[in-house]
Amino acid sequence: MPKDKLKTVYVCTTCGEVSTRWLGRCPSCGEWNTMVEDVVRETKSRGLSSQSARGGVSSAGMHEAVASKLKDISTTEKHSRILTGISELDRVLGGGIVVGSVVLLGGEPGAGKSTLLLQLCGAVSAKQIQVLYVTGEESTRQVKLRALRLKVSQNDISLAAETDIDAICELIQHTKPGLVVIDSIQTMHCSDISSSAGSVSQVKECTSRLLAVAKTNEIPTFIVGHVNKDGAIAGPKVMEHIVDTVLYFEGDKMLPYRILRAVKNRYGSTNEIGMFDMTGTGLKVIENPSLLLLEGRPVGVSGNCVACTMEGSRPILSEVQALATKSGFGTPRRAACGFDFNRMNLLLAVLEKRAGFFMGNLDVYINIVGGLDLDETACDLSVCMAVISSLLDKPVPDDMIAIGEVGLGGEIRNVINLEARLREAQRMGFTRAVIPKHSMRQLDYENFSNMELLGVTYIKQAISLL
């Protein structure tokens, strides 16, 4: 038999553009240094997607497409969502797992992706739903040991240590499980492609075949994806386009807290986050993140102010720390952790121009406690008050919270979901709130009888409350 011809191509890891020669800049998406070398085999095989995965072939051996009337397609009973029982995961997914959906889960090594998915398998199998866990990085014995440590229900979970994507797809179609977990896509390989596992062409083809099986058999599938040095999921960007949901598992390795965030979700909001605590017995759901983030807050110390950010429909209180000190160099240093650096410089310029505080000879540092990123303008007022508190060495009252956007004219502007933020602050024991004065007429004061609402129009008025 004649051997299949091998050829070298260059594939863009961002958009999947294929070129016969290396290019410094991708002609399709314009990104630099994204073309990577790949070796592919020229073959006439149609692969699994035409026969095994999609099902049904014509008399000529070609795949036959089948169409259904839109009104005849059911969306009830077994086509509804599957509640996992892990409340934070259900929140991020939009209310549970949609049958037939394909979810891509990425994150740094050691973040807890495999732990979360094994706990998910245990929670789903407890509902008498058969689960298939396919591991390409560990042996079945290693997964068993982790399941024992996590105290996962094992009755309805099947394990398979396999990396051949064709064999995996055949196994899925034969067993027809209610949930499939692939850990991880970078270890899977397709025999029709000669390049090594983890290459662009392998990841793309393996994901496509898993997608075909999941959609045809209506089996929800979770796929683990590794990340590259930039923090994005390794492989072609087209892999993120074809799946239904893309989740990122974030968190500082030095802290036990983990954040699950959706960057794409066809069946729910991408603004929701889930918070977990990494313990020796697995991930524990954090039902009250505000209490956790404010735990251990110093009392009577200058440079601290509490902010409230909205993560989807959930208000979360977080502590803003600021340090303003005299610089020892000609050019002052500025640093921000958990807050946008350019936004910090903008607020410092407003404080200097509109409030009269000279910042040209000061080193200024901003830190958001707990590893949360405050990328919402509603936290501007808290940052400004923390900076001035540190500069004047006057503490912000411990029972005071500041909510508002700061404009270039020094004005305090309205923010969305103000009532939800104030209710969360009142629940956490805050009795005073500095808010935009224009928003006060929109509030129902009966709901905040235990809280003093201090309306301010300009940044100077807010600073005078220190």
What is the Cα 456 distance to its own chain's centre?
A: 35
Helix (H) or strand (E) holding 463: helix 459-463
DSSP assignments along 145-209, one per residue: HHHHHHT---TTEEEEE--BHHHHHHHHHHH--SEEEEE-GGG-B-TT--SPTTSHHHHHHHHHH
With 90 as the cut, is the pLDDT of residue 396 above it?
Answer: yes
Percent of the residues in the chain that have a pLDDT greater than 90, as a whole number? 57
- Express each pLDDT in 350-390 by its tens digit: 999 999 999 989 999 999 987 788 989 999 999 999 999 99
CB 261 within 8 A of CB 92: yes
pTM over 0.85: no
**Residue 107 carries which DSSP code?**
E
DSSP assignments along 29-41, one per residue: T--BS-EEEEEEE
Task: Say whether 126 sits in a helix, a strand or coil.
Answer: coil
- Mean pLDDT, the chain, rounded, equals 87
How many CB atoms are located within 10 Å of the residue 461 CB? 15
For residue 41, which phi and psi values (nearest 5 degrees)? -105, 130
Q: Burial, 28: exposed, middle or buried (Cβ in 10 Å; 0-12, 13-18, 19+)?
A: middle
- Express each pLDDT in 197-231 by its tens digit: 888 888 888 999 999 999 999 999 999 998 876 66
Partner residues linked to 334 by β-bridges: 364
To which residue do tokens 């492989």 refer?
Answer: 235
- Express each pLDDT in 438-458 by its tens digit: 999 889 888 898 899 999 999
CB 457 within 8 A of CB 411: yes
**What was the pLDDT predicted at 147?**
93
